[in-house]
Amino acid sequence: MTIVQDIMSKNVQSCTPHDPVTAAAKIMREINCGSVPICEGKKVVGMITDRDIVINCVADGKDCSSVHCHDCMTSDVITCSPETDAHECARMMADHQIRRIPVVQNGEMVGICAIGDLATVDIHINEAGDALSSISQPLQ
């Protein structure tokens, strides 16, 4: 059985709620991802996506350097624990149509599991593909 702790990224970059959305966008560009956890200390309080920034800031013509992450982030964050089975993590991604799940232990973020992390484990390639396929489907 593969657990999330075995495949997650441990060196996670995050922003604080009061950082400008441009800080999150720069992290996304640097590490080539579409979402960044928003943390107070090591506690995950939100996630911000490239889509959040475009819809809630750019499309409204707001100054992205003066809009804070807390103005655009999703505060209802789906998380898992390091002991979560990789199969369960893939199911969570598909069910919630997300590509990254913060990994939390004792209330603190210890890593992040991305759809790509699931794909690196041979036995989970089909599940990761199924999860990605479900993520890419419009909500009914």
State how far the Cα of 75 lies from the Cα of 12, in Å rounded to an integer: 18
Q: Are 45 and 38 in contact (CB under 8 A)?
A: yes
Chain mean position to CA 81: 14
pLDDT the model gives residue 116: 87
Q: What's the confidence (pLDDT) of residue 123? A: 43
Taking every pair of Cα atoms in the chain, the longest distance, rounded to a whole number of angstroms, is: 48
- Could you tell me which of 11, 12, 23, 13 has the C-alpha nearest to residue 69? 23
CATH class of the domain defined by 4-135: alpha beta
User: Which pLDDT tens digits describe the chain residue by residue (140 residues)?
Assistant: 889 999 999 999 999 999 999 999 999 999 999 999 999 999 999 999 999 999 999 999 999 999 999 999 999 999 999 999 998 999 999 899 899 999 999 999 999 999 888 887 754 445 555 555 554 555 55
Instruction: State pTM to two decimals.
Output: 0.84
